[in-house]
């Protein structure tokens, strides 16, 4: 049986590969134990899509399960307009479009294409300020697409035992800092499970 990793892990992997492990470890517990306000707000913003209440148009696919044999990734899309070939990833608030965001959108695009859909346009939608951010297709930004493939390969082959964090700022802002066994930033947590 082949292992498919979640598309959402791409952004987590770039932030810190250990966050994937901790998310799996604590994922069955109440998210309120480790999620901050931004994570809870983001999850609430996706409810209409997750429950497929965003649109009743037949050409709008919502929260569709997707996968790619080529990239060994799986996940869900937010919104795909099959008539326009327009894939939209919704975010609660966008200040910066990080590589991990783009990689997730690329992964969704590649999954949809592999599943037989025609994807012509990619974009992010920021719901807080109602802004759209068009993103070039993977074939139109070769350098970014190569970074996506390199990151995915590194994630697929990651060895947790040998990983050493390198960025203290990331550790300070990590929602799993209190649970991590190798943080660079001091822990703020005073209790235990």
Check residue 24 and give its pLDDT.
Answer: 81
Flag whether 39 is in a domain: no
Residue 120 pLDDT greater than 70, yes or no: yes
Please indicate, yes or no, if residue 126 is contained in any of the structural domains: yes
Residue 142 maps to a domain: yes
Instruction: Quickly state the pLDDT bin for 30 (edges 50, 70, 90).
Output: very low
The 10s digit of each residue's pLDDT in 121-131 is 999 999 999 99
Q: For residue 50, what pLDDT band results from cuts at 50, 70 and 90?
A: low
Burial 144-183 (b: 16+ CB within 10 A, else e): bbebbbebbeebeebeeeeeebeeeebbeebbbbbbbeeb
Residue 38 has pLDDT above 60, yes or no: no
Residue 28 placed within a domain: no
Give the domain extent around 150: 5-16+48-168
- Check whether 189 has a pLDDT greater than 60: no
Q: Is 43 inside any structural domain?
A: no
Check whether 188 has a pLDDT greater than 60: no
User: Which residues, at least 6 apart from 56, have a Cβ–Cβ distance to it below 8 Å?
Assistant: none
User: Given a cut of 90, is residue 36 above it in pLDDT?
Assistant: no
Q: Are 135 and 102 in contact (CB under 8 A)?
A: yes
pLDDT digits over 72-104, tens only?
Answer: 999 999 999 999 999 999 999 999 999 999 999
Position 149 scores a pLDDT of 98
For the entire predicted model, the pTM comes to 0.80
Top pLDDT among 47 and 183 is at 183
Number of domains making up the chain: 1
Q: Is residue 154 part of a domain?
A: yes
In a domain, 183, yes or no: no
Q: Per the domain annotation, does 133 fall within a domain?
A: yes
């Amino acid at each position: 049986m082949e292992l498919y990793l979640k598309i959402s892990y791409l952004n987590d992997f770039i932030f810190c590969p250990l966050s994937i492990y901790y998310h799996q470890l604590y994922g069955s517990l109440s998210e309120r134990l480790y999620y901050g306000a931004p994570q809870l707000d983001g999850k609430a913003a996706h409810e209409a899509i997750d429950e497929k209440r965003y649109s009743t148009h037949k050409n709008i696919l919502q929260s569709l399960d997707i996968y790619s044999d080529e990239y060994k990734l799986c996940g869900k899309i937010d919104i795909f307009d099959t008539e326009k070939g327009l894939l939209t990833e919704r975010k609660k608030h966008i200040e910066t479009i990080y590589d991990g965001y783009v990689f997730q959108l690329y992964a969704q695009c590649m999954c949809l294409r592999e599943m037989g859909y025609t994807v012509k346009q990619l974009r992010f939608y920021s719901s807080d300020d109602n802004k759209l951010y068009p993103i070039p297709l993977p074939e139109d930004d070769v350098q970014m697409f190569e970074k996506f493939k390199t990151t995915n390969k590194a994630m697929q082959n990651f060895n947790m035992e040998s990983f050493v964090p390198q960025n203290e700022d990331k550790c300070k802002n990590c929602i799993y800092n209190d649970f991590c066994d190798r943080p660079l930033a001091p822990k703020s947590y005073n209790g235990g499970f």
